Amino acid sequence: MSRIGKQPVAVADGIEVKLEGSVLVFKKGNVQKSLDTKDNVFVKIENNSVIFEPKSDERQAKAFWGTYRALCNNIVVGLTKGFEKKLEINGVGYRAAVNGKALELQLGYSHPIKYDIPEDVQISVEKNVITIAGGDKQQIGQIAANIRGFRPPEPYKGKGIKYVGETIIRKAGKTSKK
């Protein structure tokens, strides 16, 4: 029994949910998101909540049950509150700035790195913290991982881009033999 899958997803006021075949369509204002269940689970919409049930007792069906419930919940949370990731830049001379629709990073390379910001994502920079916000959890996480990938933190001095709250395991430097 999936502990995640059996919980109904509460749909907030202002969000319309429709089931078109095997596709759940969420709409809030002019923003529309869809979730294709590929007919792997049963879906019911009752009393401002979406309920998922597995197609059979097989292990794969139960995995789809929890997965589609979690994806549905992420869409609802994204349309109501949104998601946010924060990255921290550490290093002498390492800087970030938002110029128009591009994030410009200076990370110790011979050239600045320009990262184009997608339409439905907001990126802001305050001192040495980059904040990435938007309504799609997967997209926000991927953008944060891409930006972190430009200069991951190194284990000796901790220089680079890391998630806020991430701990970098530090290594000891070389020691002399005497």
CATH classification of the domain holding 36: 3.90.930.12
* Whether residue 50 sits in one domain with residue 75: yes
Is residue 56 one of the residues assigned to a domain? Answer: yes
Please give the residue range of the domain that contains residue 60: 9-80
Amino acid (1-letter code) at residue 9: V
Same domain flag for 63 and 115: no
66 and 92 both lie in a single domain:
no
User: Residues 49, 36: contact at Cβ < 8 Å?
Assistant: no
Residue where a domain terminates, one of 54, 80, 106: 80
Same domain membership, residue 62 and residue 110: no
174 within some domain: no
**93 shares a domain with 135:** yes
Q: Can you give the length of the chain in residues?
A: 178
pLDDT, position 156: 94
Does any domain span residue 170? no
| pLDDT given for residue 175 in this prediction | 83
pLDDT at 96: 97
What's the half-sphere exposure (Cβ side, CA atoms, 13 Å) at 21? 7
User: What pLDDT sits at residue 1?
Assistant: 65
Residue 169 falls inside a structural domain: no
Strand partners, 105: 96, 113
pTM: 0.90
- pLDDT, averaged per 10 consecutive residues of the chain (178 residues), comes to 87 93 93 93 94 92 93 96 97 95 96 96 96 96 98 95 95 83
143 and 117 together in one domain: yes
Judge if 16 and 33 occupy the same domain: yes
Same domain, 18 and 65: yes
- 74/100 same-domain check: no
- Tell me which of 80, 98, 117 is where a domain ends: 80
Same domain, 90 and 67: no
Q: Are residues 65 and 93 in the same domain?
A: no
The domain boundary residue, chosen from 38, 63, 80: 80
- Count how many domains the chain has: 2
**CA–CA separation, 25 and 93 (whole Å):** 46
Using alpha carbons, select from 78, 22, 20, 24 the residue that is nearest to residue 49: 24
In a domain, 15, yes or no: yes
